[in-house]
Amino acid sequence: MNSQTAFKMCHSLNLHFTSLKYSVLTYGNNTKSAQKKWDILSPSQRFRYEWLAKKYPVTQDLVYACIGAQFSDVSMQFGEREEIVEAFFKFKARREALTHTIKSDLIKHELIDFEPVDKLIFKYFVGDFSPEYMLLLTKDNDILSKIFECPNFSWARIKILKLVKYRPFFNVSKYAHLTADYANHVN
């Protein structure tokens, strides 16, 4: 991977998570806007992407670093290197232990008597539940879109948008069986 490829990936993933209309899975990394932005970067700004290309030569690792940075509110362009590395390891560890993470979230949810998702979302905002668990609980309804559009939740739009935009990166069907207890309790 070279620095330009790293920039385009970081740029497109940032657009994906911060824009309602743009999807990196639909439009890819090599867009006109990414090329224009690359062309105007200074050498010192390009150095950041040289570091990222060397640090994360495998595409999946750079994707994990970018997504981890999104959920940790760290800028890939301006954030400290240590923060980016920490966000990467935190995200990668959660992804590698997803079954355990989801089971732990389910136990926490059971302890609060399977509180409804619209109330549980507040606990997600403060980090009590993983994004994957929230996506599992909302797989069969459109509650995240409703919360996103609700004026009372305007303060949380960025977090909800990131959650909604993360959905294509998480295979809900692979882990749906883990939340069967929740589905049985709700029905």
Look up the pTM and report it.
0.88
The radius of gyration computed from the CA coordinates of the chain, to the nearest angstrom, equals 18
Cβ partners under 8 Å of residue 143, min gap 6: 117, 118
Q: How far apart are CA 61 and CA 113, in angstroms?
A: 37
Local confidence pLDDT in tens for the 187 residues of the chain: 899 999 999 999 999 999 989 999 998 888 888 889 999 999 989 999 999 999 999 999 999 999 999 999 999 989 999 999 999 999 999 999 999 999 999 999 988 888 888 888 899 999 999 999 999 998 888 888 888 888 988 899 999 999 999 999 999 989 988 877 555 555 4
